[in-house]
Amino acid sequence: MKKYLFILITSLLCTVSVSAADTSAQAKKILDKAAAKVTLSTGATANFTINGGKLGNQSGTIAVKGNKFNARTANAIVWYDGKTQWLYNKKNEEVNVSTPSAATQQSMNPYKFLTMYKSGYNMSLEKTAAGENYIHLTGKGKSISEMYVLIDKAFNIKQVKMKQGNQWLTINIKGLKSKAMADNAFRFSAKDYPKAEVIDLR
C-alpha cells in the first residue's frame, strides 16, 4: 500500500512540475510575440496611463524603437537613446541627464520589461474569462521583483503591473501603432529647448 501511495504522490508531483514548465514555455512564447510587435526596427507609438508608485497618476504617449523610447506627459518629457536618458521637467525647465538603472527605465518606459523577462525571471500563465493572457513574472534579487502582464489575443500588451520595493505601479496601454521613427527622436535637442537648464547627473 505504501509503495502504491509513493508512486501516486510521485506521479502527481511530476505532473505539477511538467505543467508548470509547460505554462512557463507558453508564457515566454506569448511575451516573445508581444515583444516582436513593439520592438520593431522602424518604431511604434502608443498611449499610456500610470497609477501608483512615486509617479502618482499620469497619462501620455510613448514612442519605442528597439531599446530606445520617448515618453511624453503633461509634466515631463523623457528621451532614451539606448544608453543616455534626458528628463525634461516642463515646470522648472530643467533637463536631467543620466544613465538610468533598469528599474528607473521601467518606471518611465512600460515596454522595458520586454528586454528584461528573457533573463532571471520565472513566469507562469493564466487565461482570463475573455481569453486574454495574464502572465506572472518573479525574479529574486531584481530591482523589479514581481510583475503581472496582460496581453490580448492579438498579442498587444494592455497592462503592466510591477512591484518596486513595497510599492506597486500599474501602467495601462492602448492604441499601439507601427510608425517609422528617426533615431534623433530619442535624443534631447538643446536647440528645441533654448531656455532649459541642462544638469548632467552621470
Hey, what domains does the chain have and what are their CATH numbers? 2-200 (2.50.20.10)
pLDDT reported for residue 1: 55
- CB proximity list for 5: less than 8 A, separation 6 or greater: none
- How do the pLDDT tens digits run along the chain, 202 residues long? 555 544 444 443 433 333 445 688 899 999 998 888 776 678 889 999 988 766 678 889 989 888 888 999 998 999 999 899 999 999 999 999 999 876 676 666 666 667 678 777 888 999 998 889 999 999 877 777 888 999 999 999 999 898 877 888 888 999 988 888 899 999 999 999 999 999 999 8
pLDDT value at residue 6: 47
pLDDT tens digits, 140-191: 777 778 889 999 999 999 998 988 778 888 889 999 888 888 999 999 999 9
CA 99/CA 107 separation, integer angstroms: 14
Smallest Cα–Cα separation from 31: which of 141, 147, 128? 147
| pLDDT at residue 81, as a whole number | 92
pLDDT at residue 192, rounded to an integer: 94
All three cell numbers of 87: 528628463
Q: CA separation (Å) from 168 to 4, 37, 55?
A: 46, 26, 11
Q: How far is CA 122 from CA 70, 71, 135, 143, 156, in A?
A: 29, 28, 10, 15, 21
In the chain, count H helices and then E strands.
3, 12
Q: Quick one: pLDDT at residue 36?
A: 83
